[in-house]
């Protein structure tokens, strides 16, 4: 239990580091939160400072979740098997919560997408990386509502990967999905916005 609390704290602290804000400040001397919708994430870093800064920001925002979750699930085993799914789920959600409610940004963090992807990558031994590229790519080609795209991707993760560790991934998956839905709640009002080639 003590190890789990320590790693929840480590995960939250790691996730709360606003790498996109830092990268844009270092490379472009801009305040990322003044770009677009003000979201301190990699997408706005790309818009604000170009694709190189955007990719670097995305990499850091993904890895800040990959590292603590991967270390915990592979090297920390001093807990009851009965409580394993709960402990893994709590550690797995911690960097995502840190990103979404960063104390470094007065608890006004990002929309939790990059660290969500990073956590799924860690929990699935990397399999979530290509799956996300395919699912996000296909949905993005068909419609424009970003909230619908990322929500569909998370649902596909839960359905596809639950076979790897049914209890842990189910608990974490639904926690992750609930958080992402909450962070995107205002975008769902637009519904599915089909692209022109789909409507033809």
| pLDDT tens, position by position, 159-181 | 999 888 778 899 999 999 999 99
pLDDT the model gives residue 37: 73
Number of H helices, E strands in the chain: 10, 0
Q: Considering only CA atoms, which of 112, 125, 128, 87 is closest in space to residue 15?
A: 112
Cβ-proximal residues to 133 (8 Å cutoff; 6+ apart), any chain = none
pLDDT the model gives residue 85: 87
What is the token pair recorded at 47?
């818009």
Of all residues in the chain, the percent with pLDDT exceeding 70 is: 96
Domain count, the chain: 1
What is the CB neighbour count within 10 angstroms for residue 187? Answer: 16
Q: CA 48 to CA 186: how far, in whole Å?
A: 23
Using the 8-state DSSP alphabet, how is residue 8 labeled? H
Residue-number span of the structural domain to which 66 is assigned? 2-199
pLDDT the model gives residue 80: 65
What is the token pair recorded at 193?
């916005």
- Residue 194 bridge partners (DSSP): 143
- Predicted confidence (pLDDT) at residue 125 exceeds the cutoff of 80: yes
Q: What is the mean pLDDT of residues 2-26?
A: 93
Lowest mean pLDDT among 14-28, 94-108, 161-175: 161-175
pTM exceeds 0.75: yes
Using CA atoms, how far residue 26 sits from 16, 20, 32, 130, 173, in Å, is: 18, 10, 11, 30, 34
Q: What is the mean pLDDT of residues 90-97?
A: 97
Lowest mean pLDDT among 26-30, 83-87, 126-130: 83-87
Q: Report helix, strand or coil for 194.
A: strand
């Amino acid at each position: 239990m003590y190890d789990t609390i320590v790693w929840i704290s480590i995960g939250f602290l790691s996730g709360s580091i606003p790498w996109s804000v830092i990268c844009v400040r270092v490379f472009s001397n801009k305040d990322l939160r003044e770009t677009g919708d003000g979201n301190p994430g990699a997408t706005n870093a790309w818009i604000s400072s170009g694709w190189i800064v955007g990719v670097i920001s995305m990499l850091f925002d993904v890895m800040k979740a990959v590292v603590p979750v991967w270390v915990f699930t592979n090297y920390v085993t001093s807990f009851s098997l009965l409580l394993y799914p709960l402990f893994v789920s709590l550690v797995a959600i911690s960097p995502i919560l840190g990103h979404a409610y960063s104390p470094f940004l007065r608890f006004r963090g990002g929309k939790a997408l990059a660290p969500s992807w990073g956590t799924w990558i860690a929990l699935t031994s990397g399999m979530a990386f290509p799956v996300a590229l395919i699912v996000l790519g296909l949905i993005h080609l068909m419609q424009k509502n970003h909230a619908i795209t990322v929500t569909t991707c998370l649902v596909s993760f839960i359905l596809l990967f639950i076979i790897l560790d049914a209890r842990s991934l189910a608990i974490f998956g639904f926690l992750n999905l609930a958080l992402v839905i909450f962070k995107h709640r205002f975008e769902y009002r637009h519904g599915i916005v089909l692209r022109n080639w789909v409507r033809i």
